[in-house]
Structure formats: C-alpha cells, structure tokens
Structure 1
Amino acid sequence: MITRNFTRSALPILITLALAGCSLAPKYQRPVAPVPGQYPDQDAVQNRGSGTAASVAPDAAYGSDLGWSEFFTDPQLKALIRLSLANNRDMRIAVQRVQEARAQYGIADSDRLPTIGIGGNAQFTRNPENLRMGEDAGSVSRYYQAGVGLTAFEIDFFGRVKNLSEAAYQQYLATAQASRTVHINLVALVAEAYFRLRTAQQLDGLMQKTLESRQNTYSLVKARYDAGVASSLDLSQARAQLDTVRVDREGIKRSQAQAFNALQLLLGTEIPQDMPQSTAFGRDQVLAAIPVGLPSDLLERRPDIMGAENALLAANANIGAARAAFFPNISITGLLGFASPQLGGLFGSGQRFWQFAPQLQMPIFSGGVSGNLDLAEARNNIAVAQYEKTIQTAFREVADALAGEATYDRQLDALRSLEAAASESLSLATLRYETGIDSFLQVQNAEVDLYTTQQTFYQIGMESLMNRVELYKALGGGWLESSVATAPVAGGVSGTAPGRDSGSIKGDNGS
C-alpha cells in the first residue's frame, strides 16, 4: 500500500519536473545588424515635395504595413493579384509547406508528454517436465495481462526533449516566414508581368503610329522621286525607315505574347473575360512614395530576415539538445491493470497488477555525442552568417531601389524634354526637305532620334514602376491586402503551432 501510494504521488511530480526541465541551450542574443543605420539617398527620396510618405500614406507607419490593394491603384491589376493568390501553384506549395512544418513540430512536441495507451496481451508457454513449477502444473502455462500502459517516457531533467521541441517550433516559424516571402514575391511578380504586358501594348501602339508616319513619308518621297525631284537614295532610305519599324513591331508582338503567357503562368489559371476595366497606364499605377523607415526596421518587418532568425534560434536550441546528451538519460515505462493465468478471471478484484520500470543511461565512451555537439555549434555559426547575409542583402535591395527612386523621375522628365525637342527637329527637317533646302538624310536622322527617344521613354517608365514595386517588396510589403495602423509584434509570425498562440497562418487570400 505504501509503495502504491508513493508511485501515485511521485508520477505527477516526475512529469512536472520533466516538462519544466532546465535548458542547456546558450542564451540567445541577436547578432548586431552588419549594415549602416541610414540608407543612402533616403533623404532625397523622402523630401521630393508633395509626394512625401506622410502625405501619401498617413495611416502606414512603414512600407510593409501598406496593403498591396492600396499600393496598386489599377483595378485590373488588383483583380489579377487576387486571382494569383488563389490559384498560383507556388503559393499553394508554400502554404502546404507550412502545414508540413506545423505537423513536424507537433510530432516533436508530443515527446514532451508521456504516451499512455490501453492494451492487453497473452502469453502461452510449454515447459519441459523438469522446468515445471510443481507436480500439478500442466505442460502449458498461460498468462493474461490488460491495463493502461506508459511507454518509455523520458524525464527531461536536462532539457534535451524541450530543446528539440523548440528547434522544431522555430523551424515551423521559419517555414511560415518563407510562405510570407513567396506571397510577397508573387504579388510583385504579377505586378511586374502586368507592367511588361502594358508596356508592350504601348510600344505596339507607338510602332503602329510610327508605321503610319513612315508610310506617309515614304509616299511623299516616292511622289518626289516619280517627279524627278528626289533621288533613288532618298527613296531607299525612306523604304529602310519603313521596314525598320515593321521589324520592330513584329518583335514587340512577340514580346507582348510572351508577357501575356508569363502573366497567365503566375495566375495559375486562364485570365477571365470579365476583368475590371484597367486605368490609363502611367506613373499613377502605384503610390508616388512609400514610408521607408530605418534599416533596423527591416529586422522586424521582412519575413526572410525573421525566418533567418528563426533558423538561428532553432540552431541555438539544437546546441542545448546536443549538450544534454552528455548527461544521464532517464526514462520510465509502466503498466497499471490486471494479470491472471486464466482469461476468465483476468478482471477479478484480486488480480490487480502494476509495473514500474525506470531506466538510466549515461554515455561514457561515445565519440558521437561530442561530434553532435560540434556539428550543432558549426550549424549555429552557419546560421549566424546566413542571418547577417540576409540582412545585408535586404539593405542592398532597399538601397538600390532608393537609388532608383532618387533618379527615375528626373530621367523621365529629361526624356520628355528630349522627346519634345526631337519632335520639333523632325518637323523642321521635314519642312526643309520639302522646300529642297536639306537632303532626306536630315529627315531620316530626326525620325530615328524621335523613335528611339519614344521607345526609351516607355522602357524607362516601365523600369520606374518596377523599381517602386521592388522598393515596396524590399521593405517587406505585399503580405497584407489592406493597410494596418499598428506595427506587428517584433519577431512575430503569421502562424500558429499546436499549443502556442502566435496568430493565424492564413494570408489575406485565405489560403
């Protein structure tokens, strides 16, 4: 009776001690961000006049808090983004990766609790005559057993199981952050594919107008040639100018078809016929400015950086598990139930049975234990370097995009002035040719200059839009559909693991 009472009272205590075991993991300290405290060109971007961050997005404290449905202004583009978030296969894979990591964490965390089950077994043994217990014993002995069993539960005094569970949890969070990154990249890729398609359509329209203009020029030269005023060289040059645009137009038709195919691949489905009407294509496709913040903000906003830190925390926990392997491993197996030599009397009042089997293992000569610790420490050092590199890459991406923001507007203004000058030059050259003052070469050069300038303007305009999308993405934006007024919790993640409350794993697409 004393033994039974001691066992009943000791078991909850042992389980409590196991769950609250100490941890031998190193105390985690976030590595210092290996980047400057200020972005280059940030002041120039934030002080461009009326298009400042405060005037554009007063409710957004940071670029990543700015929802993509407010950053992009084209209704058709918004509809395409929603379609891609629901159908893109990479997005579906990323969501299932999160579920996979969640399940793996649940498996690892279940080792912290005892496994209890109900079962029964029977054993039949035939003994030779000289091994029978008595003269009346039969040749076959029977043994029946049934009850509630506890299977090999490790008492986690040194935190080995706890650290393995923590490592699995951090890997789950890292996977959830990777899913965020896929989400952000998908939003940006759809926008860029849409901008390429719209730019190709604009260039096709430009080439159609240029083709009509070149056809008129060719007709003028042909009439002058037939009248004996123009030379065959003038006619050949006019024909070459016409054919050049024809060649370019076929190329832009090919680019337009390829851009459409790329967009449809990102969507993961056919583009519906009842899409919203698109707006005029130009700089108003996206917001004029984005709240940038400081490089230190990236640590709490960019999912790839947060995921790298989760991987670092997992590596840190694995060191604790490797250290715990140097200490004794204590586990218990138990059974509480009934035992009887006869099946009919198994559950009788006098057949109560219990079994308690503690086990202790202590490594003495084991090179693998030391090697596992060296391996865990090496992987932790790798995780530190990867975390720092991720920060440096993020800083460079933001800095590059800010450099674009500081120069693209001035470049486009210069191209507008250049286009006006080229158009005026073409008008004057045509007039001087018609009056016989200059040769057709002047008209040809003016046409080439204007055509090249117009093409460049559309290309730079597209690059300007894409640069702003890259800045938005580099700041961690594109995960939210609508702006939020409050910043996310530092180090938080949109994911929930069993037994831990960290928010919802659903994105704005409900995937």
Structure 2
Amino acid sequence: MHRRLPSLLLLTTALAGCDLAPHYDRPALAAPSRFPQGPAYPAATGGQDATQDVAGIGWRDFFTDDRLRQTIALGLANNRDLRVAAANILAARAQYRAQRADLFPTIAAGADASVRHSGSNGSNGSSVSSGSTGTSGSTEGSGTAHSYTADIGVSSFELDLFGKVRNETKAAQQAYFATQAGADATRISLIAEIATAWLTMGSDQDQLRLSTQTLRAYQQSVDITRAQFDKGIASELDVRQAETNLQNARYDVAQLTTQIAQDQNALNLLAGTTVSAALLPDGIGADDHTLAALPAGLDSTILLKRPDVVQAEDQLRAQYANIGAARAAFFPTISLTSAAGTASSALTGLFSGGSFSWNATGSSALTLFDFGRNKANLRYAEANRDAAVAAYEKAVQTAFREVSDALATRGTIGAQIAARTAGAGSADKAATLSLARYRSGIDSFLTTLDAQRTLYAAQQSLVTTRLQRETNLVTLYSTLGGGLR
C-alpha cells in the first residue's frame, strides 16, 4: 500500500495539471495595419515609438490651461460615473477572490459534548446532548454516561482534476481585469467630455460676445436708417429690414445666454460638483488650450492598448475559460472528506494519550445521462466565445474609425481656420465699404444689410471652426489612449 502511494500522488498531480480550455490566440487585427493616408490626413510625423508616447502624455501636460486642468481634477475626484466604476472594480475583485477560494479546501473545527442517564433496567432513561455533530461515544449499563469529542477536518473538497474550478477562477479573474479596463476607459472618456464641455462653453462665450457686438452695430444701423427716413432720404422698407437684422441679433444674444447656462449645468454634472466661476472659461479665442501637435501617420496596433479594446479582449479570455469549465463538466467529480480528532468519556481526558482518531473518505460521481444539459452548456459557452470574438473585432474597428476621423479633421483644420480667418477679414472690409457707400448715396441699404449679415455669419463660422480645432485635438488624444496618467 505504501509503495502505491507515490504513484497515486504523481497521477493526481498530473491530472491536476489538465486544462480543457481551448488555447487562446489573439484574433488577427480586424483593421488595416496603418492609419489612412491621403489629402485629408496629416503627413507622418513619427514611427511607432512616437505613437506610444501619446498614451504616455499625462493629461496635466496635454491641457495647457490651468483652469481647465483644475476642472478636470474636480471631475476625477467627484464624478459619479467614476465612483460607480470604482465600486464595480471592488465588486469584481471580491467575486474573483470568492471564486479563487474554491481552489483550496475549507477547514472546519467542531466540538461535541453529551450526557446520557439510564435506569438500572435500562428501560426508563433520559438523555441530554449539546454541541455540534461529531463522533459520539457510548456507555453500557445503568447510570450516567459522558462523552466529549473535538475534531478538525475537511468536508467534501472537490479535487480539480480536470480544471473546472481553475477555469471558473480564470474566468472570474479576466472579468475583474475587464472591469478595471472599463474603468480606465471611463476615465479617459470623462476627461475628454469635461474638456469638450469646457471648450464648448468658452466658444459660446465668444459667440455671445460677437452677438452682443453685432447687436450694437445693428442698433446703430437702425438709428441711422430711422434718421434718414425722418429726413425723407430712406424708405420705410430700409427701416424694417434694419430692424429685422436687429431682432435676429437680439434672439441670438438671448439664445446664447441660455446655452451658456446649460453649458455650465452640463459641466457641473460632469465635474460632480459646482464649478466655481474662477474656473469657467470666458472664451477660447485663437489661443491653444492643449498641446498643439500630436504624432500622426502611425501604426494602428497602438489601438490594442486602448482600455476599451483591452476590456473586450479580457472578456474574450474569460469566455475561453468558461469553455474549459463546461468541458470539465463531462468528467467525473472526486470529493474528499477527512477529519481528525479526539474522544473521551471525561473532559479532562479529552486530549490524553490514546484518545486520538481520524478518518478519510473519498467519493466519485459521473453523470451518465442529463438530457443534454452539459452539452447545451458547452454550446452556450462556445457561442459566447464567438460573440466575444466579434465584439473584440468590433471594438478594434470602432477605435480605428475614431482615430481615422480625428486624423482626417486634423489634416485639414489648419486650412479651414486660415480660410475662415481670411473670409471674416474680407467680410469686415466689405461691410465697412458698403456702409460708407450707402451713406454717400452710391449703394442701396440692401447692399449694406447683406454685407452686415455676411460679416456676422463669417465671424460665427470662425468661432465654430476654432472650437472644432480645439476639440479635434482632445478627440485625437483620447482616441489614441491618452488620459490615464
């Protein structure tokens, strides 16, 4: 018997190393290896090393406006979505630890004490017992009998010969990792959303300032036209057309005032608290509020490091482990129960020599017919694996599209800004000339009104395009995985 024990231990060890989960290979990149090139895209500025630096640029370094940095810090400290994500991490970690505990036996200790009294003929007696289930002693004859036991042991510990518990633990671990990656993705998204909301509010402040200035200019035009109408030089049509421009500008001022209030409400929600007036933007103007340049024309494999892509891959790994657990259900389960303890008829002799005892039992069970339950569970796990593969590939493709779109905007935004700036300058000169010609009686007032409307629209477009330039850099930074540091 003793000679067979080493062989039995070796066999058990070999079986314990059995893993029925399919081998995991990362799916091929479901996107081109390089980001798009062409007239809409910026020229390459670096290799793959430069790409990796994007994720390494801390958000405090990327955003150059101190008010914006402080607002982002408020959001990271108070945003409720981040708090939910942090709680989800704790929950996933607790589930993983609870599942991992099944890899080890549960050891329990117990004690039992009983007293039995019987009459001389043994026919009339009574018994009193207390304690937990354990090994009991017995006493023949009449009188009072005492029994005391204490033991420690393992109850129904399943030997994980086919990797069922290990794969269930691996699946829980990968789910935990996926939750962590999801929290990282939430953090990056929050930083980008706060920055975009802050810049949008600044742009609306610029628009309000422009509309207020235009309102004053239109008011002057109305005053001039009314004065000329009173002198019989201008017609009532000129007055009414000037008043129409004035009322449109008044509407814009009122609408932008409302929009700025709503911008602040949105910013407060993202920050998780009220953002003080000292941190709010008063405009964005032509200044840069972020780093002016990021690497472009880079290897798309950098997308594999994006937290949302990492999350999808962790979920895929978990499904591979679930297949291993489902396959293990087809094989026998072996459980061990053991206990060691001591028993005595007297409490003082409970731990004396000769009172020690132990026992060990093993059991095995194999499902012979379950009406296809195990097979269905395996098919279910395999289907979930296939769905996770598709979800991972979709995450990669979505990331590729987001970066490509941001690069396409970046490649032409400089030309757009230059065109809008030149257009606004020309419109300003045209409005000045048309007003002078109208006062000289050369042109009709309709020409002046058209020039004023054109100038107003050109200036509005310039403010909007400046906002697009700032938010485009924020988008490119976040889609390349920046914002974790």
TM-score for both structures, normalised by structure 2: 0.89
Compared CA separation, residues 213 and 387, structure 1 to 2 (3 A):
same
1:437 to 427, 433, 442: 442
What residue number does 1:215 align with?
Answer: 219
CA shift for structure 1 position 44: 6.2
Residue 129 of structure 2 is matched in structure 1 by none
Which of the numbers 301, 310, 313 marks the counterpart of 1:309? 313
Distance, in Å, in 2 between the alignment partners of 1:125 and 1:212 is 106
Pair 1:17-2:21 in alignment: no
Q: Which residue of the partner structure matches residue 406 of structure 2?
A: 401
Instruction: Indicate which of 282, 285, 292 corresponds to 2:289.
Output: 285
Q: Which residue of 2 aligns with 1:196?
A: 200
Selected match of 1:205 from 205, 209, 212 = 209
2:373 corresponds in structure 1 to 368
Q: Does 1:238 align with 2:229?
A: no
Which residue of structure 2 aligns with residue 106 of structure 1?
97
Counterpart AA for 2:344: S
Matched, 1:423 2:428: yes
Secondary structure, aligned partner of 1:111: helix
Distance 1:99 1:350, change over 3 A: same
SS in 1 for 2:18: coil
Alpha-carbon distance change, 358 to 417 in structure 1, aligned in 2, over 3 angstroms: same
Q: Counterpart of 1:62 in 2: which secondary structure?
A: helix
* 44 and 404 in structure 1: CA distance in 2 versus 1, 3 angstrom threshold: closer
Question: Among residues 49, 72, 77, which one is paired with 2:63 in the alignment?
Answer: 72
Cα distance change, pair 234–119 in 1 and its aligned pair in 2 (3 A)? same
Structure 1 residues 178 and 412, CA, compared in 2 at 3 Å: closer, same or farther? same
Secondary structure of 2:216 counterpart? helix
Indicate if the aligned counterparts of 2:41 and 2:409 stay in contact, CA closer than 8 A: no
| Residue matched to 1:380 | 385
Number of equivalenced pairs: 470
Q: Find the aligned partners of 1:389 and 1:59 in 2 and give their Cα distance.
A: 25
Aligned partners of 2:107 and 2:15: how far apart in 1? 16
Structure 1 pair 60–319 and aligned structure 2 pair: CA distance change class (3 A): closer
Pair 1:473-2:478 in alignment: yes
Decide whether the 8 Å contact of 1:60 with 1:66 is kept in 2: no
Structure 2 residue runs of 5 or longer lacking an equivalent are 127-136
Residues 433-474 of structure 1 deviation map (CA, whole Å, 9 limit, x = unaligned)? 101111110011111111111111111221222222111111
CA distance in 2, matches of 1:235, 1:278: 35
The residue identity in structure 2 corresponding to 1:182 is T
CA gap 1:141/1:226 in 2 versus in 1, 3 angstroms:
farther
1:407: Cα distance to partner? 2.0
Question: 2:132 aligns to what?
Answer: none
Task: Give CA deviations for 1:18-76 in whole Å, capped at 9, x if unaligned.
Answer: 9953211101111111111121147964438xxx569xx99873322221111111110
Counterpart in the other structure of 1:87: 78
Tell me whether 1:452 sits opposite 2:457 in the alignment: yes
Q: Does 1:174 align with 2:174?
A: no
Give the partner amino acid of 2:401.
R
Q: For the structure 1 residues 71 and 421, does the alpha-carbon distance in structure 2 shift closer, same or farther, using more than 3 Å as the test?
A: same
Report the Cα distance in structure 2 between the residues aligned to 1:112 and 1:253, rounded to whole angstroms: 63
Question: Partner amino acid for 2:291?
Answer: L
Aligned mates of 2:414, 2:12 — CA distance in 1: 65
Distance in 1 (CA, whole Å) between partners of 2:181 and 2:412 is 33
Deviates more, 1:378-387 or 1:289-298: 289-298
Query: How far apart in 1 are the matches of 2:403 and 2:57?
Result: 16
Does structure 2 conserve the Cα–Cα contact (< 8 Å) formed by 1:426 and 1:450? Answer: yes
2:149 is aligned, of 137, 145, 151, to 145
Select between 371-380 and 272-281 the one with higher mean Cα deviation.
272-281
Asked whether the equivalents of residues 46 and 53 of structure 1 are also in contact (C-alpha less than 8 Å), the reply is no
Distance in 1 of aligned mates of 2:378 and 2:142: 56
Hey, what's the Cα distance between the residues in 2 that align with 1:105 and 1:152?
A: 21
Which protein shows a greater Rg?
A: 2
Q: Which of 24, 27, 34 is residue 23 of structure 2 equivalent to? A: 27
- 1:120 deviation in Å? 1.9
Which residue of the other structure, out of 317, 325, 328, is the alignment partner of 1:324?
A: 328
Counterpart Cα distance in 1 of 2:341 and 2:404:
69
2:341/2:357 contact within 8 Å kept:
yes
- In 1, Cα distance between equivalents of 2:415 and 2:55: 26
What residue in structure 2 maps to residue 488 of structure 1? none
Tell me how far apart the structure 2 counterparts of residues 111 and 163 of structure 1 sit (CA, whole Å). Answer: 11
Residue 505 of structure 1 corresponds to none
Q: Secondary structure at the match of 2:52?
A: coil
How far is the alpha carbon of 1:148 from its aligned partner?
Answer: 1.9
CA distance in 1, matches of 2:156, 2:299: 52
Partner of 2:233: 229
1:93-133: CA deviations, max 9, x gaps?
10111111111111111111112233223467899969x99
Identity %: 39
2:35 aligned residue: 39
- Which of these residues, 357, 360, 380, is aligned with residue 361 of structure 2? 357
CA distance in 2, matches of 1:10, 1:115: 26
Q: Distance in 2 between matches of 1:138 and 1:428?
A: 128
- Distance between the aligned counterparts of 1:111 and 1:42, measured in 2? 56
Greater CA deviation, 422-431 or 148-157?
148-157
Q: Gapped runs of 5+ residues in structure 1?
A: 481-511
Alpha-carbon spacing, 1:124–1:374, altered in 2? closer, same or farther (3 Å)? farther
Once the two structures are TM-superposed, the CA of residue 147 in structure 1 deviates from its matched residue by 2.3
- Secondary structure in 2 aligned to 1:285? coil
* Alpha carbons 1:117, 1:150 under 8 Å: kept: yes
Any conservation in 2 of the 1:44–1:406 contact (CA below 8 Å)? yes
TM-score normalised to structure 1 length: 0.84
Does structure 1 conserve the Cα–Cα contact (< 8 Å) formed by 2:116 and 2:145?
yes
Contact kept? 2:42, 2:407, Cα under 8 Å: no
CA contact (8 A) 1:18 1:156 kept: no
Provide the residue aligned with 1:493 in structure 2.
none
Closer/same/farther in 2, CA of residues 308 and 264 from structure 1, 3 Å limit: same
Deviations 1:374-424 (A, max 9, x none): 111111111111111111111111111111112222112111111112111
- Looking at structure 2, the residues matched to 136 and 337 of structure 1 have their Cα atoms a distance apart, in angstroms, of 23
Q: Distance in 2 between matches of 1:171 and 1:445?
A: 62
